[in-house]
Structure 1
Amino acid sequence: MNTFIEITGLNIELLIFLTIDITIAIILLCAMRFISGLSAKVNSTDELAKEDNFAFGISVAGSVAALGIVLTGAITGENADSYLMEIVGMASYGILGLILIKVGRVFHDRFALNQIDKNAQIKARNISVGIVDAAGAIATAIIIRAVLLWVYGLDINTFAAIIAGFIVSQAMLVLVTRIKEHQYAKNNQNSCMQNAFAEGQVALAIRYAGQVISTALAVTAASHFLTYSPETLLANIVGWFVFGMVMTILVAILTSIAKRLVLMGINLVEEVDHQHNVGVACVEMAISISIALILTALMS
Structure 2
Amino acid sequence: MMQDLVNLVPLSSGVWIYLGIDIAVAICLLFTLRLMSGKMAAVSTSQELGSNDNFAFGISVAGRMLALCIVLSAAAASSDNNGYLGAALSMLLFGLVGILLIKIGRILHDKIILNRIDKEDMIKKRNTSIGVIDSASSVSTALIVSSVMLWVDGADWNALFAILSGFVVTQAILLIRTRIYERRFIINNQSSTFQQTISKGQLAVAIQHSGNLLGTAIVVSAANGLLTYNPVGYVSNLTGWLIVGMALSLILVILVILAKKVVLIGLNLAQEVEQQHNVGLASIEMVLSVGIALIVSGLFS
Q: TM-score range by the shorter chain?
A: over 0.9
CA distance in 1, matches of 2:88, 2:12: 19
Give the superposition deviation at 1:8: 11
Give the superposition deviation at 1:10: 6.3
TM-score (norm 2): 0.95
What letter matches 2:167 in structure 1?
Answer: F
Give the superposition deviation at 1:222: 1.2
Shift of the 183–104 alpha-carbon distance from structure 1 to 2, 3 Å rule, reads same
Give the superposition deviation at 1:88: 1.0
Q: Percent of counterpart pairs with the same letter?
A: 45
CA distance in 1, matches of 2:95, 2:140: 17
* Residues matched between the structures, number: 294
Instruction: Say whether residues 1:257 and 2:245 are aligned partners.
Output: no
Alignment-derived partner of residue 220 in structure 1: 221
In the TM superposition, what are the counterparts of 1:184-199 in structure 2 within 5 Å?
184-189=185-190, 191-199=192-200
Secondary structure, in 3 states, of the residue corresponding to 1:183? helix
Alignment-derived partner of residue 111 in structure 2: 110
What letter matches 2:144 in structure 1?
Answer: I
Secondary structure, in 3 states, of the residue corresponding to 1:115? coil
Alignment-derived partner of residue 204 in structure 1: 205
CA distance in 2, matches of 1:72, 1:11: 19
Alignment-derived partner of residue 34 in structure 2: 33
Shift of the 233–275 alpha-carbon distance from structure 1 to 2, 3 Å rule, reads same
Instruction: Say whether residues 1:174 and 2:175 are aligned partners.
Output: yes
Question: Which 4+ residue blocks in structure 1 deviate beyond 3 angstroms?
Answer: 7-12
Secondary structure, in 3 states, of the residue corresponding to 2:14? helix
Give the superposition deviation at 1:11: 4.8
What letter matches 1:163 in structure 2?
Answer: L
TM-score (norm 1): 0.95
Secondary structure, in 3 states, of the residue corresponding to 1:276? coil
Give the superposition deviation at 1:233: 2.7
Mean CA deviation greater in 33-42 or 269-278:
33-42
What letter matches 2:204 in structure 1?
Answer: A
> Conserved in 2, the CA contact under 8 Å of 1:184 and 1:190?
no
In the TM superposition, what are the counterparts of 1:37-186 in structure 2 within 5 Å?
37-77=38-78, 79-186=80-187
What letter matches 2:68 in structure 1?
Answer: L
Give the superposition deviation at 1:175: 0.6
- The alignment's C-alpha RMSD in Å is 1.5
Alignment-derived partner of residue 237 in structure 1: 238
CA distance in 2, matches of 1:123, 1:92: 31
> Conserved in 2, the CA contact under 8 Å of 1:109 and 1:117?
yes
Alignment-derived partner of residue 4 in structure 1: none
> Conserved in 2, the CA contact under 8 Å of 1:143 and 1:217?
yes
